[in-house]
Structure 1
Amino acid sequence: MTCTAVVLCAMGLLGGTASQAYADPKPGDARDAKPGAERGADSAEASLKRLQDVRKKIDALYRKAERATDAYNGAKEQVELQQKEIVKLARNIDRTQQRLAALKRQAGALASAQYRGGGMPSEAKLMLGADSGAFLDDATLVRKAQQAARGVITQLSRTKGELEDYSQAATDRWERLEAHRKKKESARRDIKKKIDAAKKLESRLAAKEKDRLKKLEDEEAFRTQQKWLDSGVLKEISNKASRFGKKAVAYATSQIGKDYVWGAEGPDTFDCSGLTLRAWQAGGTTIPRTSQEQWRQLHRVAIKDMRPGDLIIYFSDASHVGMYLGDGAIVHAPRPGRQVTITGAGSMPILGVVRPDADAPERDLGHR
Structure 2
Amino acid sequence: MDLIHLAASNAYTTPPLWRVLTKAGYFLGLSGAIGATVTYVASVRPALRTPEGPGHDDVNVIRRRTAGYLARAGVVLLIAGYFQLAGRVARAGKGTPFGDALAPGKMWDFLVAPAAKGAWVAQGTIYLVQNLALILAAATLIALFLPQARRHLNALALTALPLTLAVTLIAAVPATAPKDADKVLDLLFGQAHIISGVVWVGGLALLAVLAASRGRLGENAGVLWADLWRRFALVALICVGAVITSGLWMSWKHVGAVSQLWTTTYGLFLLVKVLLVLGMVTAGAVNQFWLMPRVVKARRNDDTASLLHLTLRHFPKVVWGEVALGIAVLAVVPFLAGSARSEAGDPAAVSSGSIFTAGAFLVLTLVASLYVTVRTSDALARRSAPTAA
Common fold: TM-score over 0.5: no
Rg bigger for which structure? Answer: 1
| Greater strand content | 1
